[in-house]
Amino acid sequence: MKRLRKFVERIVEAIFTLSGGITTLAILLIIIFLFKEGLGLFNNPAVEKGYALCVNSTNPIKAGHPLSPQQIKQIFDSEITNWEEVGGRDEEIMIFRFDEIFNLYSDEELGENYEFLPQKLDDVIAQNPNIIAFIPEKYIPSGELNSQVVTLHTPLIKPSDFFGGKEWLPTATPAPLYGALPLVLGTLWVSLFAILIALPLGLGVAIYLSELAGENTRKILKPTIELLAGIPSVVYGFFGLVVLVPLIQKTLHLPVGETAFAGSLILSIMALPTIITVAEDAMRNTPRTMREASLALGATPWQTIYKVILPYSASGIIAAVVLGVGRAIGETMAVLMVTGNAAVMPHSLFEPVRTIPATIAAELGEAPAGGVHYQSLFLLGVILFAMTMIINLSVEFISKRQIGKGM
């Protein structure tokens, strides 16, 4: 009988060890895949893949003055209209897009299989010294035809363009912009204010349930609060869109109600059940003898809560904060519905913003697998992973310091 029991225990122990190893390996593989896909972004040129920018060979911009993605966008948006603004001659920039060639020449002139298309492009570029043409690489004039056409050197996407860029326009042509700064700040902006709202409210409710509420009141409120954690995020988002957004717009006299403030309110409501439940459980685990000793020494109930219960349950409260922050930073659908989904630099809490999870959810389905846009979204996932890891490590460090102080 003892041998059978030991054998079963070893089997169970082996199963637990194996499951733990498989889980750890799966997490490591996910992290490796995430970084592998994301960091591949920096191996791609700034111009849309398969296309190139061409200028006349007499244009001095071709030598030593590579255009940045921002400059290319400004040129094709007519924000930069003179070559002198980007280091060239003082002459107006002529923008030429590939489809314009079909307005200049007939199908007969271009050929049945477009065999004369490179020649016609060469003619257009040769006749216009101030031109910048955005054309497919396969139609770039080559060989003898290439006398007047120079392909501009387009640098690879740099980490500074991604992490420090202020514009997120992944579908822009000819140079998509992958500036993640507005998304990072939008995520932090919404999450920070959500925690600032949810933490004092959640901690107050946890103190009430643990120390002040009667047993009957607690039996009713505790399951009700825990039930709120099971409501799908899309329901919270719909509630925010129908109720909170119009209320915020009307009360604060804003042009739109879909703002960072609306997102913070929804996230604070969603984080409250987690914070309340975990913090209340931590407080109730405070030994009864510590409460009685504090009261016996003449401390008031509030002094006991502040001086004894809160310090003793600090690690549990910190865990509640971590879970609340994780819920806020990683939330997708509710934030997508109420924040306006605008990838712009946030300057106020009452402006539309876009968060990293919302961006990934909204754009991943439209991004071609393995493409530049696809890789940029994975790199956003790397940033989200790094943010969460930093928060967890910071809380772990704070928790260890508190334990070292005897709390």
Residue 42 gets which letter from DSSP? Answer: G
Place of tokens 């490179």: 118
DSSP string computed for 314-370: HHHHHHHHHHHHHHHHH--HHHHHHSB---S---STTS-B--HHHHHHHHTTTSPTT
177 Cβ contact list (under 8 Å, min separation 6): 69, 70, 73, 161, 165, 167, 168, 169, 170
The one-letter code for the residue type at 68 is S
Q: Which residues of the chain have pLDDT under 50?
A: 406-407
pLDDT given for residue 261 in this prediction = 92
The class of domain 181-404 in CATH terms is mainly alpha
- CA gap 239, 166 in Å, rounded: 31
Superfamily covering domain 51-157: Periplasmic binding protein-like II (3.40.190.10)
pLDDT given for residue 184 in this prediction = 92
The separation between CA 313 and the C-alpha centre of its own chain, rounded to angstroms, equals 33
pLDDT given for residue 18 in this prediction = 87
Are the beta carbons of 210 and 407 closer than 8 angstroms?
no
pLDDT given for residue 161 in this prediction = 87
Tokens of 136: 């497919």
pLDDT given for residue 406 in this prediction = 46
Domain boundaries, the chain: 51-157, 181-404
Are the beta carbons of 205 and 225 closer than 8 angstroms?
yes
pLDDT given for residue 57 in this prediction = 83
44 Cβ contact list (under 8 Å, min separation 6): 156, 157, 372, 375
pLDDT given for residue 246 in this prediction = 92
pTM of the entire predicted model: 0.83
Q: Percent of the chain, pLDDT > 90?
A: 11
372-393 burial, b at 16+ Cβ within 10 Å, e below that, comes to bbbbbbbbbbbbbeebeeebee
Are the beta carbons of 356 and 184 closer than 8 angstroms?
yes
pLDDT given for residue 147 in this prediction = 67
